[in-house]
Amino acid sequence: MNRIKKGDDVIVIAGKDKGRQGTVLRVVDEDHIVVENVNIAKKHQKADPNRGQGGGIIDREMPINISNVMMFNPVTKKGDRVGIRRLEDGRKVRIFKSTNEAVDV
């Protein structure tokens, strides 16, 4: 079970975007994720008339290492570590380490 999934709110703890908060748009692989409005790079894009795309310089979110982000805990309003706990019925749930509350309700 992954500790960070698509749709989670995260806060960046290291790098040029330290302190910024965003939503996970996609998980690239087990070590990289793409976060909304974080790690923006300029991409020079050629026009493609078959797809109806114009050319120019566009801003694009690039992957960031998963170790540079923490889950945002809405209770404490801070970044928090995430652990995995098995319930009595055998299901696995993600929990915040500081409050021992389930992430997914």
pLDDT digits (tens, 9 = 90+) for 18-46: 999 999 999 999 999 999 999 999 999 99
Whether 2 is in a domain gets the answer no
C-alpha 94/C-alpha 87 separation (Å) is 10
pTM of the model: 0.86
- Condensed to tens digits (0 to 9), the pLDDT of residues 44-95 reads 999 999 999 899 999 999 999 999 999 999 999 999 999 999 999 999 999 9
CATH number at residue 15: 2.30.30.30
Instruction: Establish if 78 belongs to a structural domain.
Output: yes
37 inside domain? yes
Q: Do the domain assignments include residue 26? A: yes
Would 32 be classed as within a structural domain? yes
Q: Is residue 81 part of a domain?
A: yes
Instruction: With respect to residue 67, please indicate whether it lies within any of the assigned structural domains.
Output: yes
Q: Give the pLDDT confidence score for residue 105 in this predicted structure.
A: 59
CA distance 82 to 74: 13
- Judging by DSSP bridges, how do beta strands 64-65 and 56-61 pair with one another? unpaired
Tell me the three-class secondary structure of 61-86, residue by residue: ECCEEHHHEEEEECCCCEEECEEEEE
